[in-house]
Amino acid sequence: MTETARIYGGSLYDLAAEENLTSEILGQMEQIRTLLRENPEYERLLSEPSIPQTERTGMIEAAFGGQAQRYLVNFMKLMCEKNLLGEYSGCLEVFKQRYYEDHHITEAVVTSVCPLSEEQQARLKEKLEAISGKEIILIQKTDPSLLAGIRVELDGKLLDGTVKNRISEISDRIHHAAV
């Protein structure tokens, strides 16, 4: 994450928090990032120096002015004027981090051989919330090489209950055992 993203994303968060709009703006920022990722040519068009700046900011107004929160539309126009639209994803990440901190939310990346059932997800989420004291957002990944069990990354910690990890631990003990 760049210093520019920290400054701009943090400033937008401060403004949104002042106006009690953090949830609304976070959701809209994520939707806009999805749109920009699905249409990279649109971001290139908004960054094209041969197109007058007023025309580029007009395109932002036309695309988002009637749908997105006014502070977010103006933020995007500012990013366009400063030729910083490439920093948008980083600004969103800073905004999201601040939002999660303020609302005691954290993400847990759960990797398993196959997707967890809704019941398994609910039970795991409940346990992780008890451990962390925060609301958990589960992000599921699958990895058939784990053989069985799950691996959870939570707040910089790795909780590895996979068969692959157990086999690796046993192999290390055997390898390092004094004979």
Instruction: List domains and CATH numbers for the chain.
Output: 3-100 (1.10.520.20), 105-176 (3.40.30)
In this predicted structure, what is the pLDDT of residue 179?
55
Give 9-62 pLDDT, tens digit per residue.
999 999 999 999 999 999 999 999 999 999 999 888 888 889 999 999 999 999
Percent helix, strand, coil in the chain (nearest 5)? Answer: 65, 15, 20
H or E segment and range at residue 151: strand 150-154
Average pLDDT value for residue range 153-167: 78
Q: Mean pLDDT over residues 115-126, rounded?
A: 92
What average pLDDT does the structure give for the chain? 89
Q: Nearest 10 degrees: CA dihedral of 94, 133, 28, 118?
A: 130
Contact status, residue 88 vs residue 36, Cβ threshold 8 Å: yes
Query: pTM for this structure?
Result: 0.77
What burial class does residue 141 get, using C-beta atoms within 10 Å of its C-beta: 0-12 exposed, 13-18 middle, 19+ buried?
Answer: exposed
CA angle, 5 then 10 then 14, to 5°: 155
